[in-house]
Amino acid sequence: MKAFQIEKVNDTEYSVIVMSTSYINPIDEIEDIEEYLRKNFKGKVLFDMLLKNGISSNRFIEAIFDGEKFDLQSFRALSKVDDRIREFAANFYRCHEEFLNNSTLPKAYQFLIKKGKLI
C-alpha cells in the first residue's frame, strides 16, 4: 500500500494535497509523488501528515514543486492552514476509515475523527 494519496482541491491556495494513508511518512515516497505530479502540475503542494505526525504543529507541510522535482529547501511546517483545507481533510479521513485504522493515532482520536468532532 502506498503511504500517500494525491487529492486535487478547489478554492484554496493549494490545488494539490498529499494525504497520508498510513503511519509511514509519505515524504519517504517523494520520487513516486514527483512522478505523478510531473504529468500536469507546478506550484505549492500541501502534505497532510495526520496519520504519521498526529494532531501536532508539524501535521501540515508545504513544499514547492517546480514541474520536475520538489525544491528540498522549500519544505516547511505550517502551524495554521485554511479552514477549508481542514474541512477537506476531515471529509477525506471520514470517507477512508481504513487509513485511520492504519495510523499511529490513539483510538480516541480515530473515533473523534470518524464522528466529525476532530480535525
Amino acid at the residue 61? I
Q: Confirm if 104 and 54 have CB atoms less than 8 A apart.
A: yes
**pLDDT band, residue 34 (cuts 50/70/90):** very high
Share of the chain above pLDDT 70, in %: 100
Query: Could you tell me the residue ranges of all domains in the chain?
Result: 4-114
| Number of neighbours of residue 116 by Cβ within 10 angstroms | 11
Alpha-carbon span 38 to 108, nearest angstrom? 38
**Cell numbers for 61:** 507541510
Average pLDDT over residues 52-63: 93
Q: What element of type H or E holds 107?
A: helix 107-114
Residue 119 clears pLDDT 80, i.e. is over it: no
Beta bridge partners of 65: 43, 70
Q: Confirm if 102 and 20 have CB atoms less than 8 A apart.
A: no
Regarding pTM above 0.85, the answer is yes
Q: What element of type H or E holds 28?
A: none
Q: Cell 519544505 maps to which residue?
A: 75
